[in-house]
Structure 1
Amino acid sequence: MTSASLEDRVRKWLSDQGYPLEMRVARITGATGAGWDHGRVYLDPVTGKTREIDLMGYFDRATWSDPPFSVHVIFECKHTRDKPWILFCTDRPGIRPRGFVRSVPATTHAKGAITATLKEAHRTEDDSPITSMDMFRPPGGLIGFNLARAHTDNQDTAFHAMRGVSGAAEATAQDIGKYGHAVLYLPVIVIDSPLMQCFLPDGHDDVELTETGRGVLLYPTGPGSRTLIHVVTVEALPEFLGRVASESENLRSLVAPHLRPPGGSSGR
């Protein structure tokens, strides 16, 4: 077997795997100035088994003199070039704007600071600068309630992507929260095939199908509990992460008055 044929075989195998997508997402994350790493693990809250996170991005930029607040992104990368993804949507999410904010996993200290900021006397909770951030609101006003892959009856990949990324964010927040850190964990599913929004308007019998680069899903994690998950195509990821980087700085400034004085690491 020549070296050329070996390389061809390996490249063919890689084309069917998700590793190149993870590497591409890492490069995009680093281009925003954020830190990142592969191979972080967490204890699955459902099975009790140790599982691996595809990638984690660190939008913390904190120094010893900064408020100890960070935004970390939990990435679940799904390579399915041959099958588009369908985000089933509604325009009636059933929660208020502050509910979207509170559905993002965070450590106890971070949740407390965000809640206190939302309740500040000079604004209502639903009229806070926080609720207008792209990290906490669905684009175009439609909110997803389910995610599936087209052209297949097997929806295990979609199910495990939603459960995995939400479970990783919740479990990591609980674990890191034990050390008193203030960290928000943003769950993001990245795909390398088209994303379609499926919506049935009032008074219509036919659904509307619209291709988009980004959508938001509320995934049920228990009775009365839902986790906000972003679903983003890899092509739309640079713009989305650019907004996350900017909004992380703004969010840190907003919650700073409600944080304890810095005295430890940012929670990586």
Structure 2
Amino acid sequence: MSDSLESRVLGWLKEQGFPLEMEVASIAKAAGFEVSQSEYYLDPDGGEPREIDLILSLNNRKGDFSLTYNLFVECKSSRDKPWLMFSTPNELGSSLTQDNRFNFIELQSAFISSNLADTLLLKSTFNGNLDHLYPRLNTEPLLGYGVTQAFAQAGDAPFKAMMSTTKAALSHTKRMSKLFGLYVPVIFATPVIVIDVPLLAVSFSSESNELAVSEIRRGNLYWKHVVGGRSRIGVYIVTKQEFPAFLADCYASAQWWTNVDEESLEQIRKENLGPKQPS
């Protein structure tokens, strides 16, 4: 291969999203996650096959139970168009109290999980053990309700990315819940978008009656768009620079999730609390 061809190919690749996806995969492997690239899933709203950039996972088995922690990652590259997350003060609460129990039920409903995992999340919420889990919607001072891309002339990259990652998480969780056979699936799934441009939180200042813009490194979005029959899903948006630190938090959470003791899991199964079905 000639030097000019190699240079042209590398130049073209840098203008696409492939380098970001490959870099993110490398970071995830170094963090200890199993990484699957270019996975396909069936769109839960139409049945068409679609592609997700990355699935990051940590798995373990405890007796009859198969415990899985998944991150479904879409990578979006754009040299000079920052993403804007429209935000309000996060009122979901940093800890469980009598006054904010409803907020925590709302938080728990935004997770994507299998049947028994959903019950585990609910019990963890009311037992005060949810602090072990990350990412979750009560971790940041601002909570996003919408995302757009500044200076974009056409298309809606944030919306497409959110649709892709949430649909992949829902579809994969539902499919894997049916394939475990001899094992009871305990699946936790989080949609994640990684960007290589600044992420800005846009909020309204009641003091100045003006918009306020601040740069953040990771943001949580409480997305109320209907996807796969769900109307509330938590989505995390992370800058490439912040991704290694974000993954370190996720890996610590994954270690906790995949090592829940078998006795607790058996108790949850016996109680038959009637959790929601994965969509």
With the length of structure 1 as denominator, give the TM-score of the two structures: 0.85
Match of 2:83 in 1: 85
Residue 209 of structure 1: which of 203, 206, 213 is its match?
213
Corresponding residue for residue 10 of structure 1: 9
Most deviating of 2-11 and 17-26: 2-11
1:58 and 2:57 aligned: yes
Gaps of at least 5 residues in structure 1 are 262-268
2:120 alignment counterpart: 113
Which secondary structure state, in structure 2, belongs to the residue aligned with residue 68 of structure 1? strand
Larger displacement relative to structure 2 (51-60 or 138-147): 138-147
Amino acid of the structure 2 residue aligned with 1:184: F
Q: Which residue of 2 aligns with 1:76?
A: 74
Q: 2:194 aligned with 1:186, yes or no?
A: no
Correspondence list, 1:75-224, <5 A: 75-91=73-89, 96-119=103-126, 123=127, 128-131=128-131, 133-179=133-179, 180-222=184-226
- Of residues 212, 227, 237 in structure 2, which corresponds to 1:231? 237
CA contact 1:83–1:193 (8 Å) conserved in 2:
yes
Q: Counterparts of 2:261 and 2:161 in 1: how far apart (Å)?
A: 31
Runs of 4+ that moved beyond 6 A: none
> Shift of residue 205 of structure 1?
2.0
CA distance in 1, matches of 2:135, 2:188: 11
Q: Are the aligned partners of 2:38 and 2:53 in contact in 1 as well (CA < 8 Å)?
A: yes
- How far apart, in 2, do the equivalents of 1:33 and 1:66 lie? 24
- Which residues of structure 2 form unaligned runs of 5+? 93-101, 268-279
User: In structure 1, the residue corresponding to 2:130 is in which secondary structure?
Assistant: coil
Equivalent pair of 1:109/1:177 in contact (CA under 8 Å): no
Aligned partners of 1:97 and 1:131 also within 8 Å:
no
Letter in 1 for 2:104: P
Give deviations 1:40-96, integer Å, cap 9, x for gaps: 111112232001110011122x25669531211100110112211111101156761
Aligned residues: 252
The DSSP-based 3-state class of the residue aligned with 1:200 is strand
Alpha-carbon distance change, 176 to 212 in structure 1, aligned in 2, over 3 angstroms: same
Identity %: 28
Residues 223, 234 of structure 2: 8 Å contact kept: yes
AA aligned to 1:205 is: N
TM-score (norm 2): 0.82
Distance (Å, rounded) in 2 between the aligned partners of 1:257 and 1:193: 45
